[in-house]
Amino acid sequence: MSYRGPQAFRRAVTELARLPGIGEKSAQRLALFLVRSEGKYVQELAEALADLTRKITLCRTCFGLADTEECGICRDPARDDGLICVVEEPSDLMAVEQSGQYRGRYHVLHGSLAPLDGVGPEHLKVRELLERVKGRPVREVVLATNPDVEGEATALYVAKLLGEQGIRSSRIAMGIPMGGHLEYADQVTLARAIAERREFTVR
């Protein structure tokens, strides 16, 4: 007979423990923090979370997160229409945005090809991408899927289909991370960094 607090407390712990990376012990710690927190914080948190499902949908154009039919990036007239960056997840879109290096449009596939897990092209927003570029002045599609087996396969697949429509694809560079050390780089990354070396001109 293990005591875990009154019912409303146990329920909060159970719900919090369903979050990724939050175990039973962390959930209890969070719930205790919430019980002790002052002011309107818990109410504000609860409302913010309820709002997530009520207000957030997928953008009809790029399938990123949006609270209107089209997301802020797709509505931004200052963005380059000729460039589309293809990513696996909305979090990848945010990561690219936060790099500050990209001013084109996006397309979120919502996953990567994983035949062993039963994820085929029909589960991704691939058809939507092909529809989207059809007859549009798209100069280049930047394939920014993850550099793992699934991401590589997905990039290859998408590039092939785009090529059939006469659209150029590019792949983000893979190599030693900035600030990294060759000594600590894994063999595959280092092999890739050497194979994809670039000319280095000193003037």
Binding site for its own copies (CB under 8 A): 1-9, 11-12, 14-16, 18-21, 26, 28-35, 41-56, 64-68, 71-73, 89-91, 94, 97-98, 100
Residue 87 gets the label, from left (phi > 0), alpha (psi -120 to 50) or beta, of beta
CB of 112 to its own copies, least distance (A): 15
What SS3 class is residue 34? helix
Of 73 and 167, CB closest to its own copies: 73
The answer to whether 154 touches 112, Cβ cutoff 8 Å, is: yes
Of 4 and 168, CB closest to its own copies: 4
The per-type count for the chain, helices as H runs and strands as E runs, is 8, 6
CB of 31 to its own copies, least distance (A): 7
Give the Cα separation of 7 and 186 in Å (integer).
49
CB of 114 to its own copies, least distance (A): 16
Cα distances from 150 to residues 103, 111, 199, in angstroms, run 26, 9, 29
Of 53 and 187, CB closest to its own copies: 53
Of 58 and 190, CB closest to its own copies: 58
Give residues with Cβ within 8 angstroms of 3, minimum separation 6: none
CB of 54 to its own copies, least distance (A): 8
Of 40 and 198, CB closest to its own copies: 40
CB of 81 to its own copies, least distance (A): 18
CB of 22 to its own copies, least distance (A): 8
Of 66 and 124, CB closest to its own copies: 66
Give the Cα separation of 19 and 93 in Å (integer).
22
The answer to whether 109 touches 127, Cβ cutoff 8 Å, is: no
